């Protein structure tokens, strides 16, 4: 509870500082020569707030938000599914992992954002070019974590399951998958953020709707308040998605020991 | 017929980074008769676990033959299906509750869930964990986890029980309790047991026969002692009897030199 108060306090302090430093005529000029310059470069929190209220009141934002969230979710789900499947396959097959190793390394070290224009050519300016970008970003994070998770399965656990009569399939289901899960969830938090990056960067490079498109439009007219409003809305929804991942994680990972399990009586 | 027989087993491991290959076990021959409780003792790091892994079919020996009730065991074709294995380290599935750990083996064999749960509950009671079935392993003490592992292995009623220092991580009191429980469970149906330990007292208190291994590398049995103490035994009381002490003295005489050798070798190693 006390923590929440402090967290809100930090937020309020930041907004207040932002307001005081950018409001024209409030403080004497100490950096810019004209008093409306700070507002021009950094926006004003009150105006940003009203942009957001206006978006939601006029329902204008929902169409864009829906597109961006759809791109994000599709990129996230498809990328994570591929990462999981291929991670499992390569971790369990020594030959396949040895053959593909240099390619995986190469693809991973490549700055994949440069693929965005190519995807736009391949998949058009609709949502699928953004989804494709999200998938390439999400895939590698999940893939490497699954690969590592499966590789680090305790050999004793495997030997025990084999002695108890587990077949290869049962080993995969009962040992490899649950064991890799804690690694997968650690990566999913990163992956949500990256799926957003894929969607917004994709929209930024060419689109007709989406929050990234709104931001791009506002930048074109130097409307810095709208840019900030877009950033804040995106951040809020990224936090919501992250909370959803955390919720699913809690449900599935009840078996994990917590740091301390005593309760006050 | 022997339940388990290892004939002329040699295990050589490839050296690391092109170093010399390491021979853990050399020309070891060992057998366990049906219904016999055999303990293998030896100095630390002498390859006791290697021998047990060979018997379990988890490790293919470099040379030698393994037979299970007369049938040859080949590790490449799968593990020893008539054996249960209790590991030294924790081998419970951390993401399964107690009861679901116990019935894991039944699940792998396709036993219907209801039936498996029934048997699981019965086994939890037998090892004194009734009411703890819904706890996760990390919520249990070391002794409870060992009892859970015991139930997990015994529920499949294996003909051969392989145990790799199963109680070495427990404190002395819990350990003696567990040893007594093991003897009581074993007395019910007299399976064949191959029990690995570095603790000579534990070996004598539990077994029908104690086999002493030489120090590594190239471990092999160097002594074989029949333990004719009366059963049923109480492991904490039997340690005081003159017969026990005489046996202890005799076997320790054979073991002492090997223990010192192992110690010297470890000290000399860089």
Average pLDDT over residues B48-77: 90
| Residue A19 maps to a domain | no
| Residue A193 maps to a domain | yes
Select the residue from A149, A156, A160 to test the B interface by mutation, using most B Cβ atoms within 10 A: A160
Q: Is the ipTM of this complex over 0.90?
A: no
pLDDT bracket for residue B40 (50, 70, 90): very high
Strands of the sheet with B22-33, listed across from one edge = B22-33, B2-13, B63-68, B71-72
The predicted pLDDT at position A60 comes to 86
Task: Give the number of domains in chain A.
Answer: 1
- Nearest residue in A to B88, CA atom: A156
| Residue A38 maps to a domain | no
What percent of chain B has pLDDT above 70?
A: 99
**Cβ–Cβ of B96/A255 closer than 8 Å?**
yes
pLDDT bracket for residue B218 (50, 70, 90): confident
CB A187 within 8 A of CB A258: no
The predicted pLDDT at position B47 comes to 81
Identify the weakest region by mean pLDDT among A162-176, B5-19, B23-37. B5-19
Place of tokens 């160097």: B222
The residues, ordered by sequence, that sit 6+ positions from B100 with a Cβ below 8 Å of its Cβ are B93, B120
| Residue A216 maps to a domain | yes
The predicted pLDDT at position A261 comes to 57
Strands of the sheet with B37-41, listed across from one edge = B83-86, B160-164, B192-197, B37-41, B209-213, B221-226
Residue B143 has pLDDT above 80, yes or no: yes
How far off is chain B from A73, nearest CA to CA, in Å? 28
Structure tokens at A126: 């609709």
**Cβ–Cβ of B104/A261 closer than 8 Å?**
no
Select the residue from A154, A164, A185 to test the B interface by mutation, using most B Cβ atoms within 10 A: A164
Please tell me which residue, B19 or A41, carries the higher pLDDT value.
A41
DSSP 3-state of B242: helix
A163: nearest CB among B56, B90, B94: B56
Provide the whole-model pTM: 0.80
How far off is chain B from A186, nearest CA to CA, in Å? 17
Q: State the Cα–Cα distance between residues B249 and B201, nearest whole angstrom.
A: 10
| Residue A35 maps to a domain | no
Domains of chain B (ranges, CATH numbers): 2-82+158-268 (3.40.50.300)
Residue B129 has pLDDT above 70, yes or no: yes
| Inter-chain CB pairs, A–B, below 8 Å | 68
Bridge-based pairing of strands B37-41 and B192-197 is parallel
Terminal-residue alpha carbon distance, chain B: 46
- Nearest residue in A to B97, CA atom: A255
The predicted pLDDT at position A265 comes to 59
**Cβ–Cβ of A178/B95 closer than 8 Å?**
yes
Residues of chain B with C-beta less than 8 angstroms from the C-beta of A164: 104-105, 108, 152-153, 156
Among residues B88, B77, B132, B123, which one has the least CA distance to residue B104? B123
Bridge-based pairing of strands B71-72 and B192-197 is unpaired
The residues, ordered by sequence, that sit 6+ positions from B2 with a Cβ below 8 Å of its Cβ are B31, B32, B33, B34, B67, B69, B70
Vertex B14: Cα angle to B12 and B19 (nearest 5): 120
| Structural domain boundaries enclosing A138 | 59-252
Model pLDDT for residues A146-191, shown as the tens digit of each residue:
988 888 889 999 999 999 999 989 999 899 988 888 888 888 888 9
| Residue A177 maps to a domain | yes
| Residue A32 maps to a domain | no
Q: Point out the residues of chain A with pLDDT beneath 70.
A: 258-265
Among residues B141, B95, B144, B96, which one has the least CA distance to residue B124? B144
pLDDT bracket for residue B270 (50, 70, 90): low
Vertex A143: Cα angle to B91 and A112 (nearest 5): 160
Residues of chain B with C-beta less than 8 angstroms from the C-beta of A154: 91
How far off is chain B from A53, nearest CA to CA, in Å? 46
**Cβ–Cβ of A161/B108 closer than 8 Å?**
yes
| Residue A45 maps to a domain | no
The predicted pLDDT at position A171 comes to 92
**Number of Cβ atoms within 10 Å of the Cβ of A246:** 13
- Nearest residue in A to B140, CA atom: A257
- CATH number of domain containing A149: 1.10.3720.10
**Cβ–Cβ of A164/B156 closer than 8 Å?**
yes
Average pLDDT over residues B101-124: 93
Model pLDDT for residues B237-266, shown as the tens digit of each residue:
898 999 999 999 999 988 888 888 878 877
Chain A residues with CB under 8 Å of a chain B CB are: 154, 156-157, 159-167, 170, 174-175, 178-179, 181, 254-257, 261
How far off is chain A from B109, nearest CA to CA, in Å? 7
Model pLDDT for residues B148-166, shown as the tens digit of each residue:
999 999 999 999 999 998 8
**Cβ–Cβ of B104/A167 closer than 8 Å?**
no
């Amino acid at each position: 509870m006390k923590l929440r108060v402090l967290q809100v306090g930090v937020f309020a302090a930041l907004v207040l500082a932002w307001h005081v430093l950018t409001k024209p005529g409030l403080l004497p000029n100490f950096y810019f020569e004209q008093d409306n310059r700070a507002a021009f470069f950094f926006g004003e929190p009150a105006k940003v707030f009203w942009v957001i209220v206006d978006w939601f009141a006029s329902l204008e934002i929902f169409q864009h938000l829906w597109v961006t969230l759809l791109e994000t979710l599709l990129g996230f789900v498809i990328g994570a599914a591929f990462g999981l499947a291929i991670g499992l396959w390569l971790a369990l097959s020594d030959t396949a992992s040895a053959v593909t190793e240099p390619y995986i390394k190469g693809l991973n070290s490549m700055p994949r954002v440069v693929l965005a224009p190519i995807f736009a050519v391949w998949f058009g300016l609709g949502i699928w070019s953004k989804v494709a970008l999200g998938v390439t970003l999400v895939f590698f994070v999940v893939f490497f974590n699954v690969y590592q998770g499966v590789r680090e399965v305790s050999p004793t656990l495997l030997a025990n399951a084999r002695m108890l009569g587990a077949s290869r399939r049962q080993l995969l289901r009962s040992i490899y998958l649950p064991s890799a899960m804690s690694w997968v969830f650690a990566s999913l938090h990163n992956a949500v953020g990256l799926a957003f990056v894929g969607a917004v960067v994709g929209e930024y490079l060419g689109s007709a709707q989406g929050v990234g498109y709104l931001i791009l439009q506002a930048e074109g007219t130097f409307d810095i308040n709208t840019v900030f409003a877009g950033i804040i809305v995106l951040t809020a929804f990224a936090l919501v998605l992250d909370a959803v991942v955390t919720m699913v994680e809690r449900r599935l990972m009840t078996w994990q020991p917590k740091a301390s399990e005593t309760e006050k009586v | 017929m022997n339940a388990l027989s290892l004939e002329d087993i040699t295990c050589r491991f490839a050296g690391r980074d092109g170093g010399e290959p390491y021979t853990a076990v050399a020309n070891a021959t060992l057998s366990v008769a049906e219904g016999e409780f055999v303990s293998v003792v030896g100095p630390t790091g002498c390859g006791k676990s290697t021998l047990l892994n060979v018997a379990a079919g988890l490790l293919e020996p470099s040379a030698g033959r393994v037979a299970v009730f007369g049938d040859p065991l080949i590790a490449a074709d799968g593990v020893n299906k008539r054996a249960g294995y209790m590991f030294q380290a924790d081998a419970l599935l951390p993401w399964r509750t107690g009861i679901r750990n116990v019935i894991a083996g039944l699940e792998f064999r396709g036993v219907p869930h209801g039936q498996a749960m029934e048997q699981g509950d019965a086994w939890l009671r037998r090892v004194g964990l009734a009411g703890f079935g819904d706890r996760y392993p990390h919520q249990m003490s070391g002794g409870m986890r060992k009892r859970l592992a015991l139930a997990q292995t015994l529920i499949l009623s294996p003909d051969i029980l392989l145990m790799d220092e199963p109680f070495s991580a427990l404190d002395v009191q819990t350990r003696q309790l567990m040893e007594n429980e093991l003897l009581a469970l074993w007395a019910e149906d007299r399976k064949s047991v191959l029990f690995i330990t570095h603790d000579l007292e534990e070996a004598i208190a539990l077994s029908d026969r104690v086999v002493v291994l030489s120090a590594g590398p190239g471990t092999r049995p160097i002594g074989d002692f029949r333990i004719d103490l009366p059963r049923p035994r109480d492991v904490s009381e039997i340690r005081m009897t003159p017969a026990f002490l005489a046996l202890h003295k005799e076997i320790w005489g054979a073991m002492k030199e090997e223990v010192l050798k192992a110690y010297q070798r470890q000290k000399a190693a860089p």
